[in-house]
Structure 1
């Protein structure tokens, strides 16, 4: 480090967990981060760094965050993701720490991704929930019952095209041009199969499964064909693929969702990008769905459904939060805990909140 101030580079709690090689790598990462933060991190364009006390406090919080990531991944990694950061903040939101602490942790993690963006070209982090330092918020937004139905129906319309035979020659040329751009192929190569593909079951199965199971972005990314039990209308998430890597989970889904997943499994085998892969869903580019891709899908679904998003900060967690909210109301916290795959019942307690209209109705009944 170019700065000789006594900010702990590798605190003892981390050092004792690492092998010699891992320690060298983690020390190098920490030195670079701390040096950058002190000297240019606040405003890299003007080479203005953060204050020493700020960096010291944030470096400590980030070391704790890294150790949490190692727990999730069952071992050391220098690579932290936006999904890691969102899940960590979600755990903090449900914890007992002060609102100020939660806000400060979020600032530290934002600084980390700012460093990764400046030094390595990674994307900046747009958190799924925010904290003011005085009052922590609920997750940014969640879908109402009506909106859940609208999103489910919009998934059937998402990216769809008219039937090939229903179009006159001019309309067919226009749709072929659209599909050529969508699938990045020459117009002359677009055929009936591409029209059928546009009306496929990938997006409906992904969205409907998430509406039932409250899938986290990392779970959508990790989902495999082995998760799907169509006959029993279940998702079976094995220990090694669950988001917490601690338990096997059996998650209920509706029969119509199971049928949609079954249709997708039949269709999925037709596409070359899936033939050597167990991933349940891949993007058009052949990559697993991450938070950004899922956020785009949700925004498009809201557009199709006519759901206003102004002054709402929607993310894929809006679907998950709606599952927790309404499952807790319908079947209680135990059912919500199982459906959302929460290790601790304290995490699920966040969903034990009767909506305003229910409380108003209760007051009317009380007289």
Structure 2
């Protein structure tokens, strides 16, 4: 049996150790493709892939905190990136390690239109390519803009289970995602960091906001710490928000003293009813802090939308799944045989409320007009003696 490749990794710039790579740096099919090129090119590509895998293992998830991905994530990323490069070489007719964003978009478009794979497969491909772009930006200092495309990828679409009820987040997972949002979007203040630490934080902020390190100042530190995403995650877990509902949510619907969000009839999604939904103390705290922070953001001056993207747009499934992907990677959330997406908050909330509070109460909380829809989430006759959102996640 052939031994797995190893390499020397430098840790904290002072200690080295041997690290066993979980996969060969060049896949078998890629080696076949590279036979058309010189040994020097083959050697160069192998060195590049070794460095890429090393980065994934040691700091790919969070460069500032030196957190790497799990072996399973590294393996998936490796094989999808290899597949992308083989496609690129065939399209270009020559070897290159440069994968421009527009080429990556063409690849996704081909996968969506011509491949028998479900959307979840294409969604995984997209995440892996984003990791490659992140590597080029952070490890190689390439000026690669944030990759945007208009391909409508819905991670849950294409599953054999039309209801996707099994693809839910469990209570402990929703809590982990909320805590990850708190950690991901909070850093020390500009003046509380010592000079050396401030430089590291500047690098982190520059990566987060897509600006040059030398341009980072106190105002960028303030933007880096935000209650926006923790509040989005908390309310989504409480109410089982659909992505379109996150985008439509209005600040005027909040009734924080009563721990409620009131959705008027005219704004209700998939129904002609108004809804009064209960929120947990986590959501209330996150929303109170976000509403105070929101007042200082000029893009909300003429808008009643509760949350807007950094470009001033309403959130949708694509923008929310990008946020979710980052948080899932941070907590190494194991999907198992599930296909998880932002809709998994909805399926999780519906399941928990049905199991603990009964069908009628659950239908009101997650805004089902047909009780038959809610019954699909009933897994047991377990009932909770309390009727509070705090017990749910």
By the TM > 0.5 criterion, same fold? yes
Cα drift, residue 224 of structure 1: 1.0
1:126 aligns with 2:154: yes
Change in CA separation of 1:279 and 1:156 when aligned onto 2, cut-off 3 Å: same
- Which of 358, 361, 373 is equivalent to 1:347? 373
Change in CA separation of 1:335 and 1:180 when aligned onto 2, cut-off 3 Å: same
1:190 aligns with 2:221: no
Cα drift, residue 178 of structure 1: 3.2
Quote the Cα distance in structure 1 between the aligned partners of 2:358 and 2:334.
30
Q: Which runs of 5+ in 2 are unaligned?
A: 1-117, 120-148, 382-393
RMSD: 2.6
1:282–1:288 contact (8 Å) kept in structure 2: yes
Cα drift, residue 226 of structure 1: 0.8
- Which of 316, 329, 335 is equivalent to 2:361? 335
Quote the Cα distance in structure 2 between the aligned partners of 1:147 and 1:127.
18
Between Structure 1 and Structure 2, how many residues are aligned?
A: 236
Q: Deviation digits for residues 92-143 of structure 1, max 9, x if unmatched?
A: xxxxxxxxxxxxxx99xxxxxxxxxxxxx952443524454xx656346111
Change in CA separation of 1:334 and 1:131 when aligned onto 2, cut-off 3 Å: same
1:287 aligns with 2:318: no
Change in CA separation of 1:131 and 1:186 when aligned onto 2, cut-off 3 Å: closer
Change in CA separation of 1:308 and 1:131 when aligned onto 2, cut-off 3 Å: closer
Q: Deviation digits for residues 178-233 of structure 1, max 9, x if unmatched?
A: 32343344545432232232121100111101111111111001011111111111
1:179 aligns with 2:188: no
Report which of the two has the higher share of helix.
1
Q: Deviation digits for residues 270-297 of structure 1, max 9, x if unmatched?
A: 1111111111111122211110111122
Q: Which runs of 5+ in 1 are unaligned?
A: 1-105, 108-120, 356-367
Q: 1:320 aligns to what? A: 346
Q: Mean alpha-carbon deviation: is it higher for 333-342 or for 184-193?
A: 184-193
Q: 2:84 aligns to what? A: none
Quote the Cα distance in structure 2 between the aligned partners of 1:348 and 1:279.
28
Scaled by the length of structure 2, the TM-score of the pair is: 0.55
Cα drift, residue 174 of structure 1: 2.9
Scaled by the length of structure 1, the TM-score of the pair is: 0.59
Quote the Cα distance in structure 2 between the aligned partners of 1:290 and 1:312.
22
Quote the Cα distance in structure 2 between the aligned partners of 1:265 and 1:252.
18
